[in-house]
Amino acid sequence: MLKGKVAVVTGSTSGIGLGVARALAAKGADIMLNGFGDPAEIEKIKTGIASEFGVRTAYSGADLSKPAETKGLIEAATSELGKVDILVNNAGIQVVSPVQDFPDDKWELVLSINLSAAFYAIKAVVPQMQARNWGRIINIASVHGLVASVNKAAYVSAKHGLVGLTKVVALENAETGVTCNAICPGWVLTPLVQKQIDAWAERESISNEEAGRRLLTEKQPSKQFVTPAQLGELAVFMCSDAASQLRGAAINMDGGWYAQ
């Protein structure tokens, strides 16, 4: 389905991004990975995807808090893999604090990675997508792009902004073959969420298993984590011809969180 297409997936060395990268590769897309981590482990992931799915893979350690490096990521993918047909803006970080105590530098960092990086990557890639009259831009937002939670001012602001950016890019390309949509996950058991579970367990002096259960019970009616593989399959659909008129959508996969 995606053979001959090239996908850039930010934050794809673990968690949701890796799940999306694997799902796209399974359909034949060549993959540019991006993210931080142990170099040996990243090389293992890169070669593993190439071997398992028979696709080309590359890796960039671009720091997406820096606009020049975000632009460089698109340039590197174009240089190494020939073009960029699919852009998945997934990289994200979380900082939790009440507004009055929120560190200024952490606010700027969350916004730069969770929102501005998506803008700069889209800006860099849209011209070549428009030239070929085909492209898929998928922004991994969050249910927090649709609702709010306490102590997450920067994250919620960035994710709401990402949903808004999705709609603008979709409208600007509405008469082209370039689409832009957002996926809004609820709780996914990623390293980012695991840190919140660990903090909850420590704060309440309970087991990690109990902390995870409470986390789900508080927000997610299904009481089950969404999986990276499930999100990857939704991304695959968004890249399909069947989704060619899906434009500016923010689709939540959240175990019923937003339905409450």
Question: Taking a C-beta distance cutoff of 8 angstroms, is the pair 107, 94 a contact?
Answer: no
Task: Give the whole-angstrom CA distance, residue 84 versus residue 218.
Answer: 40
Residues annotated as catalytic (active site), given as ranges: 155
- How many residues are given for the chain? 260
Per-residue CA distances from 182 to 29, 46, 69, 237 (Å): 20, 25, 23, 12
Question: Which stretches within the chain are classed as H helix?
Answer: 15-26, 39-53, 67-81, 104-111, 117-132, 153-172, 191-204, 208-219, 228-238
Look at the block and give the residue holding tokens 């695959």: 236
